[in-house]
Structure 1
């Protein structure tokens, strides 16, 4: 039993490291090549659990070789357009000026039901409202709506929008994120002054964020 446990833990750690090294693309963003690599990785990872008598290196060595090939090809694809097209394919325009391009659908082996489902998911059930529809290499549909269906923006009204950006997390679970604090141009003394003015300390804060305007949002820890 203990042999199975340590083999499982070891393979888990190796696969976790390999996945972290390969990249951060989500399942919905995987190219066909990456998807095949993920399937093979999963199959190789299960071998030590399925066959306890199999030497562990029979699984680990192919995992490392596969990870190395993936890394090498990924770096090569960064500098080669042809290699990217070979590995990932290229996007296809399947809707143009409100008309579905049947030939492109046939080339992509993409049926109308799938196309209409993706249009509905993006809030465009009527094809006539779509200026351009692009089938990405991941299989997802990108939609550029026609001008009369696009949401109104501040630029359309001649208004200068306020500065926007992601809020910075300063405290999480009672722990001060010093790196984020430094990037926000603040120091620990400033944070302590702000919190003490509210009768709080960092240890009593569940989440503290600061927006682009310098305003703090504080969510206290619930008392148990």
Structure 2
């Protein structure tokens, strides 16, 4: 039983290496993205090639908050099967930059303590260290085993949820 498992693992590694080395081989194995809507018009040939029904297309569009076909500039079926949608600028969501408003970037929020366990990788990801985490826990008077979840972002904002369900938000620079 061990030999077939090792053969499968070796083949997977071999295929991965070939895919990295050759873009042709990568396209052969993974395929390429396919445009199925361009300027609000469905490209029927591409949908037939993908064996995608109109019902499937509209279901995926609704999941992307698109309810009118003419609102779509492009819809692309990615190699992993997901649908990427580019809406026309006139119907896309209003962004703060469209209004000239500058929004403060609070950075990436990560879970640094989960069920009382510290995640060193997550701490480094948001630029914090163990000392910093313990100083928050000390200031909140919560021992590490009593923490259900502690999330932190790069700006120093944190959300602490205790095992009893109580929630505390704060900022520590």
Instruction: Determine if the alignment matches structure 1 residue 218 to structure 2 residue 132.
Output: no
Instruction: Determine if the alignment matches structure 1 residue 120 to structure 2 residue 58.
Output: no
TM-score, scaled to structure 1: 0.65
Instruction: Determine if the alignment matches structure 1 residue 86 to structure 2 residue 45.
Output: no
Instruction: Determine if the alignment matches structure 1 residue 155 to structure 2 residue 97.
Output: yes
Pick from 184, 194, 205: which aligns with 2:147?
205
**Offset of residue 188 of structure 1:** 3.8
Pick from 109, 123, 136: which aligns with 1:167?
109
CA distance in 2, matches of 1:187, 1:136: 38
Structure of greater Rg: 1
TM-score, scaled to structure 2: 0.81
Pick from 41, 50, 71: which aligns with 1:129?
71
CA spacing shift, 1:75–1:193, aligned 2, 3 Å: same
Contact 2:33 2:79 in 1 (8 A): yes
Query: After the TM superposition, which of the residue ranges 189-198 and 100-109 deviates more from structure 2?
Result: 189-198
Structure 1: tracts of 5 or more residues without a match? 1-56
User: What is the match of residue 141 of structure 1?
Assistant: 83
Which structure's residues are more often helix, by fraction? 1
CA spacing shift, 1:215–1:62, aligned 2, 3 Å: same
Equivalent residues, number = 165
Q: Could you say what the CA RMSD is over the residues aligned between the two structures, in angstroms? A: 2.3
Structure 2: tracts of 5 or more residues without a match? 166-173
Which structure's residues are more often strand, by fraction? 2
